[in-house]
Structure formats: C-alpha cells, structure tokens
Amino acid sequence: MKNKIKEHRKMRKLTQDDLAKAVDVTRQTIISLENGKYIASLQLAHRLAKFFDTEIEKLFIFEEDEI
C-alpha cells in the first residue's frame, strides 16, 4: 500500500524519530511505513491522519487490487 507519510513528514520538517514519538511507535515502524513494507493498523492510520490533520484516505492510497 502506498502512502504520503514521508511527504507530510517532510512538509512539517520532522525527522522519522520525531514522528515516531508523536504517534507512539518506533522509528523502524515509520521507516517501514514510508518504504511500503508495513501496512498500518487502523488505529495507527487514524493517529497519523489526526497528527497530520488530514483524512486517512488522503494519507494512504488504496489500490483496487488491495481491497
């Protein structure tokens, strides 16, 4: 699943560690999310969207074949 986490993080001039602390996960989780190697749980997706003041659908890109 693709996402725009890295773009949102860079717009706010945050490090991966800053974001990880803000949403209560490890830096490795943020790295894996940004690289598309990990799919966020609904709870984490919600925390990230809330942190970035956006909707989950605008942060995560769902492909038809992933549904």
Q: How far is CA 29 from CA 18, 39, 41, 65, in A?
A: 12, 10, 11, 24
Cα pseudo-dihedral 49, 55, 56, 61, rounded to 10? -120
Report d(CA 28, CA 20) in Å as an integer.
Answer: 8
Structural domain tally of the chain?
1
What confidence tens digit (pLDDT) does each residue in 32-59 have?
999 999 999 999 999 999 999 999 999 9
Whole-prediction pTM: 0.89
**Segments forming the whole domain that contains residue 24:** 2-51
Asked if residue 27 belongs to a domain, the reply is: yes
15: left (phi over 0), alpha (psi -120 to 50) or beta: beta
Band of residue 65 on the pLDDT scale cut at 50, 70, 90: low
Asked if residue 60 belongs to a domain, the reply is: no
Residue 9, domain CATH: 1.10.260.40
